Chains A and B, each alone.
Chain A
């Protein structure tokens, strides 16, 4: 069975500091990888995704994530965070069974709290 582990439930950081939110997955098949962000009392928004090609993917607001197949990880990083980055971040995987259809499997989320 596939699973997603987000190793930190809460990450407090100071503004302008770097941050890494960790995500590891377990899967017997290849996967597609996603990071979603949820601001308080809102739905989720896609932050970035890895489908194929370059293992480093970037978002428009400065986040990046690197797919590491050997370590089955897809950690999210930002070199300098802002107060507005305070949110909950969810890692998700979509197993590719070869039939081309499937559902997302979400991690339990990491709450990023950026302090001034």
Chain B
């Protein structure tokens, strides 16, 4: 089955630790995205990538980092510099960044900082 997988589903982190969230897609999509979802705030774009070895900051990139070494993988690292990292994180992909394309979403990772 084609789709997007995110792991782990739940993640707990102590303050001061970096943590990496996994996102893999087998849809052969060029573009991938990371969003943060907080209750009542909708989705906010953290980073996006339109091709391997290229990525751009979104609206709330501070405290996060990404890499895009393979077309199918777009991991997100939440660093200790992120002041309020507890949230639901969603990864998405699309064939490319054309404005008419829909985005396909993974099931999400819920990160809790203890």
A residues bordering B, Cβ < 8 Å? 9, 32, 34, 36, 41-46, 49, 51, 90, 94-97, 100-104, 106-109
Contact = CB atoms under 8 A, between A and B. Distances in A.
A92 to B, nearest CB: 8
Interface residues of B, number: 27
Given A108-B40, A108-B41, A45 B105 contact: yes
B102 to A, nearest CB: 5
B43 A101 contact: no
B61 to A, nearest CB: 13
B99 A101 contact: yes
A96 B105 contact: no
Interface string B88-114: 001010001111101111111010000
A34 B41 contact: no
Contacts of A108: 40-42
B45 A42 contact: no
Contacts of A103: 33, 45, 48, 58, 97
A43 B107 contact: yes
Contacts of B104: 46
A37 B48 CA distance: 21
